[in-house]
Amino acid sequence: MAFHTGGEASRRSPDVLIIGAGAAGLMAAFTAARRGRRVVVLDHAPEVGRKILISGGGRCNFTNTEMRAERFISQNRHFARSALSRYTPSQFLELLAAHKIPWHEKKLGQLFCDNSARDIVQMLLAECAAAHVTILTDVRITEVTKPQDFRVQTSAGTFTSKALVLATGGLSIPKLGATSFSYNIARYFGLSVISPEPALVPLVFGKPEESWVQSLAGVSLPVRASCGKTGFDEALLFTHRGLSGPALLQISSYWEANQPVRIDLLPGQDMTAHLAALKKAKSQMKGPAALSRWLPHRLAQELARQSAPEERPVVEWSDRTLRALGERIHRLDLHPTGTEGFAKAEVTRGGVDTRKLSSKTMEAQTVPNLYVIGEAVDVTGWLGGYNFHWAWASGYVAGEALGESAAA
Ligand SMILES: Cc1cc2nc3c(=O)[nH]c(=O)nc-3n(C[C@H](O)[C@H](O)[C@H](O)COP(=O)(O)OP(=O)(O)OC[C@H]3O[C@@H](n4cnc5c(N)ncnc54)[C@H](O)[C@@H]3O)c2cc1C
């Protein structure tokens, strides 16, 4: 795909060259172009915004009404604050309204398209077309240098530009064309990169003593999953490789190797008290039946097998057994041996170190006119529309700065 305006010369040497036509790159492109900059966007994929198209089950969870910097992970906890305050969920909703795109809230402030994620891509493309942005797809970038201006060699020829924006995202889903391009170029220009790791990703279990986790594949229930002081109340799903579901995906972004994940299987309730009440009522129920009153049957069976005197009715259980079982159900420590990796990760944690980036403009402090935006930066959002909002916000502030800078 290619659409562009202006002559060949202006296409070859725009004011702003953006690598990556995803959420952040397209937002930065039309924001800068609306302010009079000549903008060219290059992408190696055959179509733009492929992650947008597959996101949110095809409906794109494009933002979240609960947007705040604390819901982003970064070595610099405050870095996202400035961009998030300058581009809010309401501003994105105004854009949707201008394009008559219907949306709805699903849960926890998560906003989705009513129809299709394609609405978002078409909106971004329409904004780019109106602002005369040139977008070239299927372009392979072979070299980036900066003799004076940036000089980018590609399969579609050489481009020179005063400003260069790195917007190629993270490493998740390599089969969709994810690459380490932004990291490599950032390093080339002296920026550092926080080790990229899969995030919002299912965790896997390889220890024989926890192989029972996989045997429960298909079981799901609401839990609280935590690592250290951070916890999420959402659904947990047992899979044939380990654990997934929103609570687990959220906590995976905080999980470090060799650390346990603590699961409260019955958050907000008191399992010991429930069991004590059954005992007081002289219940003749055995372990699996008793636990099934509060937990999915297969999970109840497994926990009873592991820790309850299965063959005896609850009325015969000692208080110590009741307490131990209650404790285990509220504080189940599991020991993942890894993640399902970038092939299954929704995002990448880590990325271009924010310490040498301006939080107001996303420009590299040590390399004037070099910008890094979106997922390529060491800013990772929670599940629920936060990552797209970071792409919009960081793209927007960079686009504004480019529009105001002396790049013309
Ligand atoms: C399955 C899935 C579902 C998701 N759902 C949601 C959701 O509902 N809500 C949410 O907030 N987030 C979601 N995300 C995360 C979200 O998609 C990303 O955080 C967001 O797309 C990042 O935007 P970006 O512009 O930085 O990068 P991207 O959208 O990844 O765009 C990067 C662009 O750069 C191009 N590129 C890469 N390497 C090169 C190269 N070497 N040369 C040229 N071009 C290159 C790519 O082709 C791509 O077009 C989801 C992610 C996945 C994988």
What are the boundaries of each domain within the chain?
2-199+347-407, 202-340
Strand partners, 363: 371
Nearest protein CA to atom 29 of ligand 1, as residue? 22
The whole-number pLDDT of residue 4 equals 47
pTM for the structure as a whole: 0.96
Cα 329 to the center of its chain, rounded Å: 29
- Which atom of ligand 1 approaches the CA of 24 most closely? 25
Select from 168, 183, 342 the residue to mutate for testing ligand 1; criterion: most ligand atoms less than 8 Å from CB.
168
Measured in Å, residue 279 CA sits from the centre of ligand 1 at 54
Topology (CATH level 3) of domain 202-340: Elongation Factor Tu (Ef-tu); domain 3 (2.40.30)
CA-based radius of gyration for the chain: 25
Asked if residues 406 and 396 have their Cβ atoms less than 8 Å apart, the reply is: no
Measured in Å, residue 189 CA sits from the centre of ligand 1 at 23
Asked if residues 28 and 127 have their Cβ atoms less than 8 Å apart, the reply is: no
Tell me the three state secondary structure of residue 93. Answer: helix
Query: Spelled out in words, what is the top-level CATH class assigned to the domain 2-199+347-407?
Result: alpha beta
Nearest protein CA to atom 41 of ligand 1, as residue? 181
Strand partners, 136: 2, 42
Q: What is the DSSP letter of 389?
A: H
Measured in Å, residue 56 CA sits from the centre of ligand 1 at 12
- Which atom of ligand 1 approaches the CA of 373 most closely? 26
In this structure, what token pair is assigned to residue 383?
A: 């599940």
In this structure, what token pair is assigned to residue 257?
A: 């190797």
Nearest to 30 by CA among 408, 402, 406, 407: 402
Give me the long-range contacts of 256-259 (CB less than 8 A, separation at least 24): 256/227, 257/338, 259/227, 259/228
- Which atom of ligand 1 approaches the CA of 27 most closely? 25
Q: What is the DSSP letter of 335?
A: -
Give me the long-range contacts of 112-116 (CB less than 8 A, separation at least 24): 112/56, 112/59, 112/60, 112/61, 112/62, 113/56, 113/59, 113/60, 113/62, 114/59, 115/59, 116/58, 116/59
Measured in Å, residue 386 CA sits from the centre of ligand 1 at 13
Measured in Å, residue 51 CA sits from the centre of ligand 1 at 5
Sign of CA dihedral 372, 377, 382, 387: positive
Nearest to 379 by CA among 79, 70, 167, 21: 79
Helix, strand, coil abundance in the chain, percent, nearest 5: 35, 25, 40
In this structure, what token pair is assigned to residue 128?
A: 């780019």
Nearest to 214 by CA among 241, 244, 252: 241
Per-position pLDDT tens, the chain of length 408 = 444 445 676 679 999 999 999 999 999 999 999 999 999 999 999 999 999 999 999 999 999 999 999 999 999 999 999 999 999 999 999 999 999 999 999 999 999 999 999 999 999 999 999 999 999 999 999 999 999 999 999 999 999 999 999 999 999 999 999 999 999 999 999 999 999 999 999 999 999 999 999 999 999 999 999 999 999 999 999 999 999 999 999 999 999 999 999 999 999 999 999 999 999 999 898 888 999 999 999 999 999 888 756 578 999 989 998 899 999 999 999 999 999 999 999 999 999 999 999 999 999 999 999 999 999 999 999 999 999 999 999 999 999 999 987 444
Q: Is 199 in the pocket of ligand 1 (CB under 6 A)?
A: no
Strand partners, 193: 352
Measured in Å, residue 313 CA sits from the centre of ligand 1 at 54
Nearest protein CA to atom 52 of ligand 1, as residue? 346
In this structure, what token pair is assigned to residue 88?
A: 């809010």
Measured in Å, residue 374 CA sits from the centre of ligand 1 at 8
Nearest protein CA to atom 47 of ligand 1, as residue? 45
